[in-house]
Amino acid sequence: MAQRYMAETGSRGSGPERSGSRFRRLRDSWRQDRGIWRRGLFLAVLGVLLALVMLLHAHIPNRVGNLGSLVETFLPWLGAGVPLLLVLALMRKSATALIAVLLPAVVWVNLFGGLVFDKSGGGGDLTVVTHNVNAENPDPQGTAREVAQSGADVVALEEVTQEILPVYERALAGTYKYHAVEGTVGLWSKFPMSATRPVDIKMGWTRALRSTVTTPQGEVAVYVAHLPSVRVKANAGFTAGQRDNSAEALGVAIRDEPAERVVLLGDLNGTMNDRALSPVTSQLRSTQGAAGDGFGFSWPAGFPMARIDQIMVRGVEPGSSWTLPATGSDHLPLAAEVKF
């Protein structure tokens, strides 16, 4: 009886054997399917187009609605199309589509694969933090407390209104002996600050400053900037003209900066991929790109989709870069260690 039972059950095969059998049946069915190469041509075209958009994004024109900048802002997310096309190709049983999906996959890995892994070198001579605290922050005192507990030597805050400024000054005074505020941006430091002045970024009011911070390792010119916001409008596309003009003005200021060591902190309302920020990004290195762990998206805080806040350097080496926990703001704070 036992032998008969084992024979009957054994004919069905064990788990791994059944899995192998299913795989073989699937493979054989695909081999015998003569339409496997003819089906899924539309999916194959979509795969090629997706690869071309990622590969040639710099050639997408900005003349109509700043389309190029819009695509570049969310460029890493185009990779989400790869698994979607892969599933559709499998459902369609199309070998042509499966091969075509490899193209955008390879392009995405080439562009962003390096950001997936932790590149931090560990240690640094100066720890900096930047945070757009949001003018409508419901808990500015809690936000200031979180920033102070980050252990940063230098902190840059953006969207600091005159009404709420005293709250931040009181909350940060115990940790940071020196500070300066110009317009709606401020800089707090554990080390002496000098030569602080506003920076004209062509906005009509002050949203950028520059200061020399004297650390035990030497002086460093620190810039704090909050470039104009951008919007996506149905009738106008990606409205980034004012931001682009401010980026050009900020780039001129950094170009003319005589200091050897430069750190830029702030909300640039744009990513490193956005060509419109090239007056700035062409002169400085992103700490996230050089020493970060992951993409380091900073906005919106609830579900970060883009890194529009930046820490960038010249004349110093990025040691590590990371995002801090959410505060009452709609942006995440960013932190980095730099080596002199």
Q: Look at residue 36 in the predicted model and tell me its pLDDT.
A: 83
Per-residue pLDDT reduced to its tens digit, 154-191: 999 999 999 999 999 999 999 999 999 999 999 999 99
> Which domains does the chain possess?
33-116 (no CATH), 126-339 (3.60.10.10)
Q: Look at residue 17 in the predicted model and tell me its pLDDT.
A: 58
Per-residue pLDDT reduced to its tens digit, 112-163: 998 988 888 877 999 999 999 999 999 999 999 999 999 999 999 999 999 9
From the CB of residue 282, how many other CB atoms can be counted at a distance below 10 Å? 11
Q: Please provide the DSSP assignment of 41-101 as one string.
A: HHHHHHHHHHHHHHHTGGGS-STTTTHHHHHHHTGGGGGGHHHHHHHHHHHHT-HHHHHHH
Q: Look at residue 29 in the predicted model and tell me its pLDDT.
A: 61
CB 333 within 8 A of CB 310: no
The predicted model scores a pTM of: 0.88
Q: What is the dihedral angle through the alpha carbons of 112, 114, 119, 124, rounded to the nearest 10 degrees?
A: -60
Q: Look at residue 5 in the predicted model and tell me its pLDDT.
A: 44
What are the strands, taking DSSP E only, across 95-192? 126-132, 154-158, 178-182, 185-189
126 beta partners: 338
Q: Look at residue 30 in the predicted model and tell me its pLDDT.
A: 58
d(CA 156, CA 183): 13
d(CA 270, CA 247): 10
Q: Look at residue 236 in the predicted model and tell me its pLDDT.
A: 57
Give the residue ranges of the chain where pLDDT is below 70.
1-20, 22-23, 25-34, 233-237
Please count the helices (runs of H) and the strands (runs of E) in the chain: 11, 14
Q: Look at residue 254 in the predicted model and tell me its pLDDT.
A: 98
| SS3 call for 232 | strand
